[in-house]
């Protein structure tokens, strides 16, 4: 009997131990599961790697943000900075080698020469030069005689008048028939073809200053009144006001509202090219915005990466508003004060895709 009680007590103790152990393990596994659910939201990117790949974090703050009108545009050469090189004399045009539309030229660079001897009548300017030299010699001969009262005033005055007329008929610039560029810039048009006959003063080529450009931007006609508030424009990361840009006018053309800006180019924007334009108007206050590179787009939704802790980030959905070409307005998802990745978001996204688990948190049980 004692033996039987002993066995029963032992079996009961074992059962109680097993039961207690079972409840302990279940509680522990539940806690660990909850802990791992939280860890699964974290994206691991060691600080050293983040630094190496240029990941930068900044605290979200509200600030000024311009009202934006998205427009399409075209870049044109500024007509106000274009000049025409003309023929100094009549004759046959001979364009210099390498001179064509699109050629870069310096101020006073020779564009062409005019051959007056190739036409009937010869070089009129050469004849005018001969007349000028003869009239000068006559005035020089008569001047001392007039001072000695050996010739009449009428004779002397007639010689002076002939000299002035000869000067007016002669063009020093026409000597040699060379055509020079009046400014540094780009040849936008060759008006006279090689071998053509031109009269003195006929246009040979048009040269536009290569650093002055005009933006012609178009929006829907119903936005015409809104263009009055536009003060600046941005093409990608190129802000016109930072390059001497000024608003030069607003008009309505072909069913569109148009606005014009003149600015100095720096070689990044090619004349004749189309442009995606952000027209910037009145300033709005207390707007949360982030640099464009801080935004990650995935399957039509937008996210930013908030630094959770040293080396760990959390992907956070956001709703976007206007973009001014550099920054994007955040209308929901951020309230300010969050440490957000503003550079290198793609690096964090790649770390997210790799499925890295924060160190010390294995999913193996």
Looking at the domain covering 82-208, what would its CATH class be? mainly beta
- Using the predicted structure, report yes or no on whether residue 267 has a pLDDT greater than 90: no
Average pLDDT of the residues of the chain: 82
Least confident of 36-40, 128-132, 200-204, 312-316: 36-40
**Does domain 69-78+210-284 correspond to CATH entry 3.40.50.2300?**
no
Q: Please, which pLDDT band fits residue 188 given cuts at 50, 70 and 90? A: confident
Q: Residue 318: name the closest of 339, 299, 340, 334 by CA.
A: 334
pLDDT of residue 202: 93
For residues 210 and 104, give the distance between their C-alpha atoms in angstroms, rounded to a whole number: 8
Q: The whole model's pTM is what?
A: 0.56
| Residue 217: Cβ within 10 Å count | 24
- Inform me whether the pLDDT recorded for 13 exceeds 80: no
Higher pLDDT among residues 129 and 223, named by residue: 223
Query: Domain 42-64+286-354 falls in which CATH fold?
Result: 2.40.420
Contact 316, 333 (CB under 8 A): yes
Per-residue three-class SS string for 58-92:
EECCEEEEEEEEEEEEEEEECHHHEEEEECCCCEE
β-bridge partners, 63? 287
Whether 358 shows a pLDDT value over 60: the answer reads: no
Q: Over the stretch 54-94, which tens digit does the pLDDT of each residue have? A: 999 999 999 999 999 999 999 988 776 788 999 888 889 99
| 21/222 Cα distance (integer angstroms) | 76
By the 8 A CB rule, do 274 and 73 touch?
yes
DSSP 269: S
């Amino acid at each position: 009997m004692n033996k039987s009680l002993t066995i029963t007590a032992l079996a009961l103790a074992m059962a109680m131990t097993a039961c207690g152990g079972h409840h302990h393990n279940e509680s522990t596994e539940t806690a660990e599961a909850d802990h791992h659910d939280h860890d699964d939201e974290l994206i691991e990117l060691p600080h050293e790697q983040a630094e190496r790949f240029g990941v930068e974090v900044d605290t979200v703050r509200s600030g000024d943000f311009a009202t934006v009108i998205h427009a399409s545009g075209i870049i044109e050469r500024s007509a106000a900075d274009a000049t025409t090189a003309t023929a100094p004399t009549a004759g046959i045009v001979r364009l210099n080698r390498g001179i064509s539309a699109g050629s870069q030229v310096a101020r006073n660079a020779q564009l062409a020469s005019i051959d007056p001897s190739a036409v009937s009548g010869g070089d009129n300017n050469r004849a005018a030069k001969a007349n000028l030299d003869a009239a000068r010699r006559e005035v020089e001969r008569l001047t001392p005689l007039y001072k000695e009262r050996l010739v009449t005033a009428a004779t002397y005055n007639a010689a002076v008048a002939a000299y002035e007329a000869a000067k007016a008929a002669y063009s020093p610039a026409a000597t040699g028939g060379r055509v020079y560029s009046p400014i540094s810039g780009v040849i936008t048009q060759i008006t006279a073809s090689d071998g053509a006959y031109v009269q003195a003063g006929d246009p040979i080529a048009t040269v536009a200053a290569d650093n002055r450009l005009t933006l012609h931007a178009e929006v829907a006609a119903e936005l015409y009144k809104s263009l009055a508030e536009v003060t600046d424009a941005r093409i990608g990361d190129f802000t016109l006001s930072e390059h001497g840009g000024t608003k030069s006018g607003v008009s309505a053309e072909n069913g569109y509202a148009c606005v014009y800006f003149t600015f100095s180019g720096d070689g990044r924007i090619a004349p004749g090219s189309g442009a995606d334009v952000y027209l910037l108007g009145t300033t709005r206050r207390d707007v949360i915005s982030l640099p464009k590179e801080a935004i990650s787009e995935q399957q039509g939704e937008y996210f930013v990466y908030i630094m959770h802790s040293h080396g760990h980030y959390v992907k956070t959905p956001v709703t976007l508003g206007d973009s001014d070409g550099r920054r994007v307005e955040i209308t929901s998802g951020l309230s300010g004060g969050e440490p957000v990745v503003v550079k290198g978001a793609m690096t964090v996204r790649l770390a997210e895709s790799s499925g890295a688990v924060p160190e010390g948190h294995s999913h193996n049980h």
